[in-house]
Amino acid sequence: MVLLADLKLETEYRCQTDLDLFKAAACEGLVTQAAVGRHLRVVELPAHTAPAIAVCLCEDDYPGWLPVAVLKELQMVAHPYVAPTWTGAAIAAQIPNVIRFTQDAMAQDNTYLWGGAVGPNFDCSGLVQTAFAASGIRLPRDSYQQEDFVEAIALSELQVGDLLFFGQGDRPNHVALYLGDGRYIHSSGRDQGRNGIGIDSITDLEDPISRIYYQQLRGAGRVCDSYQPQGKPVASREASEPGNR
């Protein structure tokens, strides 16, 4: 159990339960979630009357604000987080498990949740990140960060377990996991015709949801590495931009 007065700058703590992180100190707007066992560090010491503290998740360098009320759910760690190293071949061997995670998540009652990363409710990149993390493979948090991280491939080179990216701007605002035979699994919002995890296609476009997403398909990438933290917070999307995950 950690008290506000005991906080130490740049010290790592372990989440003893699933925790919500927010966009700003007022704790409005979920930005991501930290599953039990994840490490975070304090990046700014707050005033004693502050409602939240600025933290950074160690595994993906993702920033957020943690309510002071949940400090009791943190435990100081004796050893800092050490990122795992993976080869492309080892990652490829885990793809069946990654896919199984997403299918098991789809089988549960779920809805799309902006910032959702622990389940049963996920956003698109939260589902992808958590599915790989369940096999020990770390990815960046947001879809545009994931696009930058993976090895870009042509759509003609798609293999099971590759990531598909969607969006009409300069960055993707949606990501999905490729299942083969033109199908992909993803968590998508109500504004695109779905509200949760489902399977759509880039080849069979009779379904209106598949057509909507196909019109936004921008590319694909292959996970060949596990993310190595840089030791400083990354820039995150604004929580006021629904779907940009």
Alpha-carbon gap, residue 81 to 37, rounded angstroms? 11
User: What are phi and psi for residue 195, nearest 5 degrees?
Assistant: -140, 70
Task: Give the pLDDT confidence score for residue 240 in this predicted structure.
Answer: 36
Task: Give the pLDDT confidence score for residue 56 in this predicted structure.
Answer: 97
User: Which residue positions in the chain have pLDDT lower than 50?
Assistant: 239-242, 244
Task: Give the pLDDT confidence score for residue 241 in this predicted structure.
Answer: 44
Selected from 3.30.230.30, 2.40.110.10, 3.50.50.60, 2.30.30.40, the CATH number assigned to the domain covering 4-76 reads 2.30.30.40
SS3 sequence of 40-101? EEEEECCCCCCCEEEEEECCCCEEEEEEHHHHHHEEECCCCCCCCCCCHHHHHHHHHHHHHH
Counting beta carbons within 10 angstroms of the beta carbon of residue 116, is it exposed (0 to 12), middle (13 to 18) or buried (19 or more)? buried
Alpha-carbon gap, residue 190 to 181, rounded angstroms? 25
Task: Give the pLDDT confidence score for residue 70 in this predicted structure.
Answer: 95
Q: CATH 2.30.30.40 residue ranges in the chain?
A: 4-76
pLDDT tens, 95-134? 999 999 999 999 999 999 999 999 999 999 999 999 999 9
What's 157's DSSP letter? Answer: G
Query: What is the third-level CATH fold of 88-222?
Result: endopeptidase fold (from Nostoc punctiforme) (3.90.1720)
Question: Which stretch of DSSP H or E encloses residue 211?
Answer: helix 208-214
Q: Tokens 């960055």 correspond to what residue?
A: 171
Task: Give the pLDDT confidence score for residue 175 in this predicted structure.
Answer: 98
Q: CATH 3.90.1720.10 residue ranges in the chain?
A: 88-222
Task: Give the pLDDT confidence score for residue 243 in this predicted structure.
Answer: 52
Q: Tokens 């800092």 correspond to what residue?
A: 80
Task: Give the pLDDT confidence score for residue 5 in this predicted structure.
Answer: 67
